[in-house]
Chains A and B, each alone.
Chain A
Amino acid sequence: MTMQIADSVPLSASDAKARAQAAAARDNLRTEPRAVRITIIALAMIFLTVFVVLPLVVVFAQAFSRGIVAYLAALAEPEALAAIRLTLLVAAISVGLNLVFGLVAAWAIAKFDFPGKTFLITLIDLPFSVSPVISGLVFVLLFGAQGYFGSWLRDHDIQILFAVPGIALATTFVTFPFVARALIPLMQEQGTQEEEAAISLGASGLQTFFRVTLPNIKWGVLYGVLLCNARAMGEFGAVSVVSGHIRGETNTMPLLVEILYNEYQFVAAFAIASLLAMLALITLIVKTVLERHLDEGQEPSDH
Chain B
Amino acid sequence: MPSALINVPAKAKRGSVIEIKTLMSHIMETGYRHTASGSVVPRDIITSFICRFNGKEVFRADLYPAIAANPFITFFTTVTESGKFEFEWIGDKGFSETTQASITVE
A interacts with B: no
